[in-house]
Amino acid sequence: MLSINKVYQGDSLQLIHEIDDNSIDLIICDGPYGVTTNEWDKITDIQTYNLNLIKLFSRVLKPGGALYLFGKDDCIDFIDYRPYLQLNRKIIWYQPSRLAQGRMNYTNNYDLIAYFTKGKAKTFNLDAIRVPQLVELEHRLRCEKVPSVLNGQYGKTKFNDEGKNPGDVWGDIKQLTYKSKELISRELLNTIQKPEKLIERMIKASSNEGDLVLDPFSGVGTTFAVCKRLKRNFIGFEINPDYIQITNERIRKIEMEQDYSLFQ
Ligand SMILES: C[S@@+](CC[C@H](N)C(=O)[O-])C[C@H]1O[C@@H](n2cnc3c(N)ncnc32)[C@H](O)[C@@H]1O
């Protein structure tokens, strides 16, 4: 087994064989989409590539462990992942600010994040990820008078004052821009660095303190920055040594902030 809280340099399709069976609580997989001109993204059949990943991940996940797989809208079309993992939801990460992509089709305005578990989910911390209701009062009153879909009876719909389930269209988390404070460098915009808030929602929902999170395409270490703050352990794989250096600096900075706050 590999050491924890470390990013290993190399090809994740090889390195994953070093991980023990049933040892990982959560996998965040933001790997190739098969659409950009980056050398590592030149995958001719992204669906077959993703099916192979799903097979490999199913061995290392604990029963009930979760996988969030990023991709374009068709990234898991026409493949049978059911022998390996259970698909619970296709989450739409809605990005209204995407540039137009031609005049003869609708602009694609979202990334897909496929949320799988190995059997029934063992962890889903809904209270940790609630979002504000944002329901207009009038609509809310009308909702309170509709019959229940479960039994047809009229009754008051209960609203949780702590907020609602974020649902499967995530339009509240914006893509990074070149003005974002957390952006490490401009070259990382769009194809590499993801917003911490996006990864944070998955980690809060699908893991607990002390759990082990695997990010097999770890880029500049967004997952690990969030893990450090939320007291999760991690293992990372990344092919680009420059990104690993950035990751290690990012983690060291967070550790220093945490040490400093202990002495305050
Ligand atoms: C979309 S980026 C991940 C970014 C990450 N979520 C972040 O916020 O920094 C995908 C990463 O996967 C890496 N990569 C691509 N193919 C790989 C492979 N076979 N093994 C390991 N890393 C790989 C790329 O170098 C790139 O940094």
Residue-wise pLDDT for 43-84, tens only, equals 999 999 999 999 999 999 999 999 999 999 999 999 999 999
Measuring from atom 12 of ligand 1, which residue has the nearest CA? 217
Q: What is the rounded distance in angstroms from the CA atom of residue 54 to the CA atom of residue 80?
A: 10
Q: Tens digits of per-residue pLDDT, 233-250?
A: 999 999 999 999 999 999
Tell me what pLDDT residue 111 has: 97
Q: How far is the CA of 9 from the centre of ligand 1 (A)?
A: 11
Measuring from atom 16 of ligand 1, which residue has the nearest CA? 40
Q: What is the rounded distance in angstroms from the CA atom of residue 205 to the CA atom of residue 201?
A: 6
Domain positions in the chain = 6-125+167-262, 130-164
Q: What is the rounded distance in angstroms from the CA atom of residue 224 to the CA atom of residue 242?
A: 16
pLDDT at 263 over 80: no
Percent of the chain with pLDDT over 70: 97
**Under 8 Å CB-to-CB from 197, ≥6 apart: which residues?**
173
Q: What is the rounded distance in angstroms from the CA atom of residue 21 to the CA atom of residue 1?
A: 10
Q: How far is the CA of 223 from the centre of ligand 1 (A)?
A: 12
Contact 204, 129 (CB under 8 A): yes
Average pLDDT over residues 160-187: 94
Q: How far is the CA of 193 from the centre of ligand 1 (A)?
A: 9
Is CATH 3.40.50.150 the right assignment for the domain spanning 6-125+167-262? yes
Q: Tens digits of per-residue pLDDT, 182-224?
A: 999 999 998 899 999 999 999 999 999 999 999 999 999 999 9
CA distances from 241 to 9, 100, 165, 198, 247 (A): 6, 34, 38, 24, 10
Q: Is 117 in the pocket of ligand 1 (CB under 6 A)?
A: no
Instruction: With both helix axes pointing from N to C terminus, report the angle between 196-206 and 222-230 in degrees, rounded to the nearest 10.
Output: 50
Q: What is the rounded distance in angstroms from the CA atom of residue 261 to the CA atom of residue 200?
A: 21
Tell me what pLDDT residue 156 has: 67
Q: pTM for this one? A: 0.95
